[in-house]
Each structure stands twice: as C-alpha cells, then as structure tokens.
C-alpha cells in the first residue's frame, strides 16, 4: 500500500473547490497554505512535525505516515496505527491564551466532521476528541501545543482516521461504511487525506474569523452525548453542552443550587461507546 502524491494534489484541488460550497467564504479562501510530507513509517506524525517546526516549518506544514510505530492518543494512551489507516498532523500558529487551547481541538474536530458529512457520511463528535460514525469510533484527534508567556504560539493537530485498517468492536473503518454506498464518495486514502486536511484548515479559519462562540452551536449540533444522562459521585445529571474552554457541561439533578451546573475538564471522565 502506497500513497501517490500527485493523486493527493489533484484530490486536494477538487476537495477545496467542493468544500467552498459547504464552508462559506471566506473560510476556504483563507485556508492554510497546506504542504504535505509523506513517510512510509514514523514513530509519530506529531513528533516528526514538531521536529520540522523546530527547524523552521511554517503553519500549514503537514506530515502523513502510512504507519505509526508509537502513535499517541489523548492522555498518553497508545493509538494503534497499522497499515491502512490515515495518520497525519498539521502545524498551526494560533496565538491564543493557554486557557483557550482546547478550542483548537473543537474547531478541528468540527471541521473534519463537517467535511466528511458533506460526502454523505453522517459523522458525529464525541467529547472531547473522537470522530464517530454509526455509533462507533471512526477516528480521534490529538492536539499538542508550545507555550510562551501564557500564550499558545505553536500547535500541532494530529488526526487518525480508520480507512481500511482492522478495528476493535467499538470502532469502524471508513471503507466498510462506504461499501454500502452505490457510488462511494471517497475512493482513496489520498482523497481522505485531502478531506481531513481541508477540514482542519476550514475549521481553523472559521474559528479565527468567527470566534468560538459562533462556532460552538455548530459543534454541539454534532455531539453524540448531548442530552445523555450521567451519574457522577452518586449524583444524576444531564449533559447539556461544551464550554468555550472545552469543558463538558452537566446540569445536576441536585437540590443544591450551588452544585446545579458541573464543568468537567477533558480527561476527567470517559463517556465510552454503547456497542
């Protein structure tokens, strides 16, 4: 299994033109100047991209590996990265307060999901960083940052999406889902890479131009857990949203007004999959 760069460049042009009708201008006209480097195998696309950034790589530089040997998910968990999956990372220069760093994951996840949905794939989002299709995990996002004087000056957004690779019972690969379509809208790893990159770029552009407050309603409309009941420390509650800082918002059934709303930072709990 290989990756044809010329095929990718052609797909990127087609995807950019098509998504310009989905992400209304100027989001697509102001996207990052994407430049992709492809490797057969890497320890981690995020790690390699950070090395390139330290050597002067600019925002929009992207790294793709056909296989990762030490792929990472959120909270240091291992991300299984065999041949057949999409593993890529993109460099950004956001300049935002550290407290708002989770917004990069929110806008990237929304951008990728929105792009995939435009190809007749009902992709949703599971807080804080999963891409979901038909109730199963399609992929995930790992955002890493570099901080200077309280500001995020550089960031790397890594994404893994199941394409043809084997998956666990709670997962799904895109090729299997597309096989149910009469005319599959995505026909190659190169095209999937173009869609994912353009999705990140468009989500990032929308966030920069509109702000997280305007983007959040669109993000929440794709959230799988909205309205779901949850029990925390013996207290029942309902998931009602996600804050601008990426915290899960829960409305408690407690009679104590002071504890009526609960905010959970990413990593505090895992919502899991009902499969």
pLDDT in tens, 81-120: 789 999 999 999 999 999 999 999 999 999 999 999 999 9
Q: What is the DSSP string of 222-266?
A: TBTTTT-EEEETTEEEEEEEE-TTSPEEEEE--S-GGGSEEEE-T
Share of the chain above pLDDT 70, in %: 90
pLDDT in tens, 190-221: 999 999 999 999 999 999 999 999 999 999 99
- Of 6-15, 92-101, 223-232, the range with the lowest mean pLDDT is 223-232
The predicted model gives 235-248 an average pLDDT of 93
Crossing angle (nearest 10°) for helices 102-117 and 212-220: 50
pTM flag (> 0.75):
yes
Q: Give the CATH architecture of domain 5-220.
A: 2-Layer Sandwich (3.30)
Quickly list H helices, the chain.
5-19, 45-54, 102-117, 174-178, 189-210, 212-220
> In the chain, which segments carry CATH 3.30.930.10?
5-220
pLDDT, averaged across the chain: 90
- Of 157-161, 219-223, 225-229, the range with the lowest mean pLDDT is 225-229
Q: What confidence category does residue 272 fall into, taking pLDDT thresholds of 50, 70 and 90?
A: confident
Q: What confidence category does residue 75 fall into, taking pLDDT thresholds of 50, 70 and 90?
A: very low
């Amino acid at each position: 299994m290989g990756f044809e760069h010329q095929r990718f460049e052609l797909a990127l042009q087609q995807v950019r033109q098509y998504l310009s009708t989905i992400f209304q201008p100027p989001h697509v006209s102001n996207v990052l100047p994407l430049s992709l480097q492809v490797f057969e195998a890497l320890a981690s696309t995020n790690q390699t991209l950070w090395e390139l950034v330290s050597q002067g790589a600019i925002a929009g530089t992207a790294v793709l590996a056909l296989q990762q040997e030490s792929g990472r998910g959120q909270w240091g968990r291992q991300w299984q990265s065999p041949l057949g999956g999409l593993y890529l990372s993109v460099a950004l220069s956001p300049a935002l307060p550290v407290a708002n760093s989770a917004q990069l994951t929110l806008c990237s996840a929304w951008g990728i999901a929105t792009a995939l949905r435009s190809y007749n794939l009902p992709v949703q989002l599971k807080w804080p960083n999963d891409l979901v299709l038909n109730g199963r995990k399609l992929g995930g996002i790992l955002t890493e940052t570099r901080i200077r004087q309280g500001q995020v000056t550089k960031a790397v957004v890594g994404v893994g999406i199941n394409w043809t690779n084997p998956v666990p019972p709670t997962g799904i690969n895109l090729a299997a889902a597309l096989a149910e379509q009469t005319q599959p809208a995505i026909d190659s790893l190169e095209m999937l890479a173009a869609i994912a990159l353009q999705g990140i770029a468009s989500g990032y552009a929308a966030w920069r131009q509109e702000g997280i407050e305007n983007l959040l309603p669109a993000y929440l409309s794709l959230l799988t857990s909205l309205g779901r009941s949850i029990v925390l420390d013996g207290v029942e509650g309902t998931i009602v949203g996600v804050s601008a800082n990426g915290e899960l918002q829960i409305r408690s059934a407690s009679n104590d007004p002071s504890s009526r709303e609960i905010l959970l930072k990413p990593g505090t709990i895992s919502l899991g999959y009902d499969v």
